[in-house]
């Protein structure tokens, strides 16, 4: 299969009373898998449907391998599509369902049979060709739909919440399977999801959208470790967000005053920022018993009380309250499968963290 480069150039879609997609520009490398991620209504599906040719943009263009596709009708774009409601034909067998797109394209019977058998192989359903959709599990039906999308040897694959209808376990294994297949085929793929875990698991690049605009584009690690805004920090994973004025600068870093009991030393801060937000991931915080001689008043360290403690097997989640009422979320990896919660609700603790784990978001 060919790997295509896809480029969106100031792509917009306006409806009467609203802008669904607002000047989105994006370059997708050949063979990459990109996830469009964002809350409901942010414009993900509209964007994907414009790439497919199902919705005509109000302005802007879609390019595939530098060819302008904006006026090319959907059946000429050679895109494979897979949606949450994959709608197989119930009266056709698995083979016939997969062959359907080939017949529409006028492919000769012998050629079609070979392509169907290859597609069945790809989606690991070789022995299921003669069955009807009603005789398959949800995951198998979704694989048939994937086979149907792949059999036409598409220039790109477009997925809209493709695993949304599956239960959690099956969904997770299909995520890994679909990603492995996409990699093996080197097929440029764009996927819409509102599930951050799905995006982190599957995508080379994550595009976070908000109100029709791109909020941040980056790899999973970039998005997680260096969120560009408060919105991204809160949308991807859990985050402790502390806000405050710069109290003192030291070299390229600074001390941020968050509350009377909490100051943060950060290593790097934009030169012109006077007031910043610091995102600290829950797993970057270390909790210790307060003991006799608490180390409060040091930077990046605060006394707190355990407000909630939740054991979750591999990790424990602690919700701490600081004296001024601030909340700090901590994820602590449990040392062995026999270890339970280390801290009880009501216990006095010290929460502290290293400054490299702080990520500064300049406030607008």
Note the residues at the interface with ligand ATP (CB under 6 A).
Answer: 15, 18, 20, 38, 40-46, 194
CB-count exposure of residue 8 (10 Å: 0-12, 13-18, 19+): buried
Instruction: Residue 24: count other Cβ atoms within 10 Å of its Cβ.
Output: 23
For ligand ATP, give the closer residue by CB, 56 or 363.
56
For ligand ATP, give the closer residue by CB, 15 or 314.
15
For ligand ATP, give the closer residue by CB, 194 or 321.
194
For ligand ATP, give the closer residue by CB, 38 or 60.
38
3-state secondary structure of 47: helix
Q: Please name which of 157, 175, 158 lies closest in space to residue 166, comparing C-alpha atoms.
A: 175
- Distance CA(83)–CA(93), nearest Å, equals 20
Q: Which DSSP letter does residue 67 get?
A: E
How long is the chain? Answer: 364
**Torsion region of 126: left, alpha or beta (phi above 0 gives left; psi -120 to 50 gives alpha):** alpha
For ligand ATP, give the closer residue by CB, 49 or 179.
49
**Cβ 341 to ligand ATP, closest distance in Å?**
36
For ligand ATP, give the closer residue by CB, 41 or 326.
41
**Cβ 76 to ligand ATP, closest distance in Å?**
23
For ligand ATP, give the closer residue by CB, 209 or 264.
209
For ligand ATP, give the closer residue by CB, 56 or 68.
56
**Cβ 210 to ligand ATP, closest distance in Å?**
10
- Distance CA(104)–CA(106), nearest Å, equals 5
Task: Give the full edge-to-edge strand order of the sheet including 6-15.
Answer: 18-28, 6-15, 59-64, 67-68
Mode of pairing for the β-strands spanning 205-210 and 253-259: unpaired
Residue 81 dihedral angles phi and psi, to the nearest 5°: -125, 145
**Cβ 309 to ligand ATP, closest distance in Å?**
34
**Cβ 216 to ligand ATP, closest distance in Å?**
16
**Cβ 189 to ligand ATP, closest distance in Å?**
17
**Cβ 60 to ligand ATP, closest distance in Å?**
15
**Cβ 354 to ligand ATP, closest distance in Å?**
37
- Distance CA(172)–CA(165), nearest Å, equals 12
- Distance CA(3)–CA(161), nearest Å, equals 22
Q: Please name which of 293, 328, 286, 337 lies closest in space to residue 307, comparing C-alpha atoms.
A: 328
Question: Which strand (E) or helix (H) includes residue 94?
Answer: helix 94-104
């Amino acid at each position: 299969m060919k790997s295509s480069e896809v480029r969106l150039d100031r792509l917009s879609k306006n409806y009467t009373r609203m802008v669904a997609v607002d000047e989105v520009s994006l370059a997708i490398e050949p063979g990459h898998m990109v996830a469009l991620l964002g809350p409901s209504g942010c414009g993900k599906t509209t964007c994907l449907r414009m790439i497919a040719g199902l919705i005509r943009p109000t302005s802007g263009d879609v390019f595939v391998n530098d060819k302008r596709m904006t006026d090319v009708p959907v059946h000429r774009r050679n895109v494979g599509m897979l949606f949450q409601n994959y709608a197989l034909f119930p009266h056709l067998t698995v083979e016939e369902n997969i062959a359907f797109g080939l017949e529409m394209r006028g492919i000769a019977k012998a050629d079609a049979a070979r392509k169907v058998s290859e597609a069945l192989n790809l989606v690991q359903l070789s022995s299921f060709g003669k069955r009807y959709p009603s005789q398959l599990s949800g995951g198998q039906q979704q694989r048939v739909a994937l086979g149907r999308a792949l059999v036409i040897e598409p220039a790109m694959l477009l997925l809209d919440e493709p695993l949304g209808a599956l239960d959690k376990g099956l969904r997770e294994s299909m995520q890994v399977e679909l990603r492995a297949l996409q990699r093996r085929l080197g097929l440029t793929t764009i996927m819409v999801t509102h599930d951050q875990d799905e995006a982190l698991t599957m995508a080379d690049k994550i595009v976070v959208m908000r109100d029709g605009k791109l909020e941040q584009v980056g790899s999973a690690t970039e998005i997680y470790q260096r969120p560009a805004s408060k919105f991204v920090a809160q949308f991807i994973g859990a985050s402790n967000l502390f806000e405050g004025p710069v109290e003192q600068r030291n070299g390229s870093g600074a001390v941020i005053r968050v509350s009377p009991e909490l100051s943060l030393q950060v290593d790097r801060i934009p030169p012109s920022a006077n007031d910043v937000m610091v995102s600290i991931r829950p797993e970057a915080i270390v909790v210790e018993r307060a003991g006799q001689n608490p180390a409060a008043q040091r930077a990046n360290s605060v006394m707190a009380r355990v407000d909630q403690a939740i054991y979750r097997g591999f990790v424990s989640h602690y919700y701490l309250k600081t004296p001024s009422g601030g909340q700090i979320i901590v994820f602590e990896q449990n040392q062995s499968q026999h270890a339970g919660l280390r801290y009880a609700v009501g216990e006095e603790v010290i929460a502290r963290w290293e400054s490299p784990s702080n990520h500064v978001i300049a406030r607008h």
